[in-house]
Structure 1
Amino acid sequence: MDKEEVIEKKEIKELLELNEELENYFRNTIIPQLFIDANLVLRKFSPPANMHFKLTKEDIGKSTHDIPSLANLPGLIDSIKEVISSNEDIEKEIQTNDKRWFQMNLLPYIIRKQNITNGAVITFVDITERIVDKQVIEKINADHETFIYSVSHDFRGPLTNLVLLIDLLKAAINKKDKEETKLLLETMYRSAQSMVTIINELTDLAKNGIDPQDKPEEVSIEQILESVKFTLKNQIFQSHAKITTNFEVKTLLFSRKNLRSIMYNLLSNAIKFTAEEKTPEICIRTDKLEEYTLLSVEDNGVGIEPEKQKDIFAIFERLKPHIEGTGVGLFIVDKMVKNQGGRIEVNSKLGEGTTFTIYLKNEY
């Protein structure tokens, strides 16, 4: 046996030993891992990868392009090519079709003796809970910022008015002008009442606001409506509001707390934005479509100008400046609906009324 044959046999033995070590590693690791060669062919995968990506032994030797569960992973193939060409590690966060999040780490598989990169070893760490927690925290922070901004925004006007009125009252008292003193006191009382109204609305928004951790569940729309009507009983009594319902769908798949907040905001707005000479007439109905359930609230109120309809869901947008409010109600409604994959539409005619239609997904 010549020297070249000895070297060749030694190299083969080393490769077999290396391959056995690699096999043992992939067989025993508890982390989803793939070994894909420079030709984008799947060479090995760990048992957890089989569970996550539904791989079988028949997939070994196939091109990554021909394995749907891998071909559909966002950025996988391009990342492998980048690792092979650059010899540098890559780390990415990806979301799979089943809505799970993974941290994808790609390491170049280098054959040291030949100094070539012959593929990549890809590791997947499930970070779904971390991403969900992060999103929840971001939503909570955003809601808190919205609420704080709303408080400062809505109190600035009445407080400024009170300060000016107090200065005028001092002057009227010094002049011993009883009529002006009486008028200023009445104006101060109205300004203080305005602040009380704002406090009550903000308290209701805080109580019934967005809870990002609330999960969709089967909710009785009739029970939600009765709860909201009880909360608004004073407004309903004072306005003599007539509320009718037509529920083709009696249960909705939505967050109970958020659905109550949506109903509260839409119903209170329907009562609030009614012309003084009219009795509020409000119809609440549900309808079933293929992908969505429709929840609509129709009123005979003052209506919304066409040019304002596109802006009504913006934060602090007030439809009627002379009517007290926080300007965050419809913003929050829109946010709640979108957070659970739905959308809200408005159809309104000035002087005739408004219909808000909410599209709620039938499945999540």
Structure 2
Amino acid sequence: MGNSPGNTYKLDKLTELNEELENYFSNTIIPQLFVDGDMILRKFTPAAMTHFKLSDSDVGRHIDEVSNNIRFPTIIENIHEVIGSNKSLEKEIQTTDNVWYQMNILPYIVRRENRSNGVIITFIDINDRIQILKGYERLNRNHEVVIHALYHDIKGPVSNIEALVNIMDEAMGEGGNSEAEAKEVMEMLKLSVAKLRETVEDLVDIGEAEMDFANATERVNFGNVIEDAILSLKDKITESEAKITSEIREAEIGIPRKTIRSIIYNLLGNAIKYRSPERLPEVLIRTERANDTVVLTVRDNGMGIQEDKKEAIFARYTRLRDDVEGSGIGLFIVKNMVEDSGGRIEVESTVGEGSTFRVYFRQNPTQK
């Protein structure tokens, strides 16, 4: 029986869609897996093949048979959870070789039946971001250690120096002691000063050593980093129906990659998190050069920030709203990263209209 024109059109359309899907899976640089409703691995991207050491012979196998390659102990339970609930799942996970990823499991929905017929799993490498966050958390803890040491370790030598100076002052007031006694006090005074210098140098070394984790400067492509941040926040962007627009007028910047990635990730995440309930979120990310400065702008149409809160938002543990999840440390970390890179961050905002964050990075104007 021959095909009707309508059936032929549908077949051609399905073939076209399948070719587009094949082309996407063949060219994406993100590790992705497609697992059907029977837990069979149906497709994976070349990046997943390389990363998880998969081969063509793994297609058609039960995911349980290849889960050891993927190295995530709970992946099977997570797939069952998403298929059963029809809801996506996002979690930060660590492989058995101690590398951190953000795993997004999205249900593959059969629209006409409104059920899951499998999942698409995406893995985003966030190891650098996790490490830099841990680095700043460690740095914050060590700031408290330094303050404690300033009080206890320096207090002793300073008190000792003060006492020795008083002894010498009293001795001079009484007509002076013997040369031997004066020499002994002077030697003790020198030892106390040496101890004070040693303590101060130790404290400085603590700070410098802890900042080494963020000091490797490289040429970073803004487009790649923005794409990385968008992929990392994919579920939140989809859930909020946010429209993300980028204008890349300055393509590269000389800065540690993990630093600029964390800055963009935090600013974009906040723009979505503090969206207005009255409209869909729109976020513009723009980069441009102004003489020896590269400017990163993140503008949203969200809730906005009250004038008297603009400084407070950069303080540690500051949260403007209790009904929005968060630790209150994101912008504190961003500000520290920016300033540690020799730059500055500014914010303009109108309550009910939105906010604009501008980050200024000093760069050699001859660098391109």
TM-score (ref. length: structure 1): 0.44
TM-score (ref. length: structure 2): 0.44
Q: Larger Rg: 1 or 2?
A: 1
